[in-house]
């Protein structure tokens, strides 16, 4: 079923008891986009070898994301937040930024299963420890900016196996998932409460890279909850499965562009 117009979506959200939002890769910032930023590109040039790039680029990415979303993406988040004002919502994002929280979404109503740049873990995942990264990350980024000899920059190491500490996200050699499990548990409990409630599922820009995290569970939820309605917006993968055709409205459009231009009263 094709989404007829914006009002169809906004009206259903307003009318829903609960709203589940899935944010996908379309809302992420690819490396190429970061490279268009002069200070990011300048710092990147200071990392000549592959090993140095592997080690230090995440610190540049962290610094880039700290300022929050810009332009169309910022507008899209603003509209989304406005749309969810006073709603009982939960948001799940596949991206490694914390833009939703920076934009004003409640941290307790968000889960980031791919991790972020807030904490460290052992690269080898030799133990389940999650360590706050902010001080070390600021220091390392500062040293890169100040043209400190890259080889002399100290990277913190795991106290157990001496492997380097890396950010607790899916880029780690062995991702320690403990970092998001408390929030995931909260999400599961919230989801249980949606049974037999008028639920709106907003799936925005979610591709097929990890379908078991958002796409399939959303389809399943829409299938089992007869009062649910799902909106799937994606620039090329907006089709829905046969069994939820009557409950899923789709729109073949970039979901960031779509949300940035939606009229929210």
Give the binding-site size for Zn ion (rule: CB under 5 A): 6
Closer residue to Zn ion, CB minimum distance, 158 or 256:
158
Closer residue to Zn ion, CB minimum distance, 77 or 167:
167
**Residues 153-182 contacting Zn ion, CB under 5 A:** 158, 160-161, 163
Closer residue to Zn ion, CB minimum distance, 160 or 193:
160
Is residue 248 involved in binding Zn ion (CB under 5 A)?
no
Residue 182 Cβ vs Zn ion, minimum distance, rounded to whole Å: 22
| CA gap 171, 114 in Å, rounded | 9
DSSP states of 1-46: -B---HHHHHHHHHH-SEEEEEE-GGGS--HHHHHTSHHHHHHHHT
Count the helices and strands in the chain (H runs, E runs): 10, 9
Indicate the burial class of 123 (C-beta count within 10 angstroms; 0-12, 13-18, 19 or more). Answer: buried
| Site track for Zn ion across 88-127, x = CB under 5 A | ----------------------------------x---x-
Closer residue to Zn ion, CB minimum distance, 156 or 207:
156
Cβ(244)–Cβ(217) below 8 Å: no
Closer residue to Zn ion, CB minimum distance, 4 or 160:
160
Nearest alpha carbon to residue 94 among 143, 197, 21, 148: 21
Residue 160 Cβ vs Zn ion, minimum distance, rounded to whole Å: 4
| CA gap 249, 20 in Å, rounded | 15
Residue 172 Cβ vs Zn ion, minimum distance, rounded to whole Å: 11
Closer residue to Zn ion, CB minimum distance, 105 or 120:
120
**Residues 57-76 contacting Zn ion, CB under 5 A:** none
Question: Residues near 251 by Cβ (< 8 Å), separated by ≥ 6?
Answer: 2, 3, 231, 232, 233, 238, 258
Contact positions vs Zn ion (CB under 5 A): 122, 126, 158, 160-161, 163
């Amino acid at each position: 079923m094709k989404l007829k117009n914006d009002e169809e979506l906004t009206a259903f959200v307003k009318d829903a008891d609960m709203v589940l939002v899935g944010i996908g890769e379309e809302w992420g910032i690819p490396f190429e986009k970061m490279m268009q930023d002069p200070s990011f590109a300048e710092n990147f040039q200071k990392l000549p070898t592959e090993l140095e790039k592997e080690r230090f680029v995440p610190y540049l990415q962290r610094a880039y994301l700290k300022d929050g979303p810009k332009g169309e993406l910022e507008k899209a988040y603003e509209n989304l937040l406005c749309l969810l004002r006073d709603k009982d919502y939960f948001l799940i994002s596949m991206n490694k930024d914390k833009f939703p929280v920076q934009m004003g979404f409640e941290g307790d109503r968000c889960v980031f299963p791919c991790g972020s740049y807030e904490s460290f873990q052992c690269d080898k995942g030799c133990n389940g420890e999650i360590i706050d990264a902010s001080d070390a990350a600021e220091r390392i980024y500062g040293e890169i900016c100040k043209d400190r000899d890259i080889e002399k920059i100290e990277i913190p190491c795991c106290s157990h196996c001496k492997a380097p500490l890396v950010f607790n996200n899916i880029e780690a050699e062995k991702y320690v998932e403990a970092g998001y499990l408390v929030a995931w548990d909260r999400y599961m409990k919230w989801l249980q409460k949606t049974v037999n409630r008028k639920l709106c599922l907003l799936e925005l820009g979610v591709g097929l890279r990890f379908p078991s995290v958002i796409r399939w569970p959303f389809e399943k939820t829409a299938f089992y909850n007869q009062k649910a309605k799902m909106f799937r917006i994606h620039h090329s993968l907006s089709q829905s499965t046969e069994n939820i055709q009557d409950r899923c409205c789709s729109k073949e459009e970039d979901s960031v562009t779509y949300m940035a231009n939606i009229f929210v009263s």
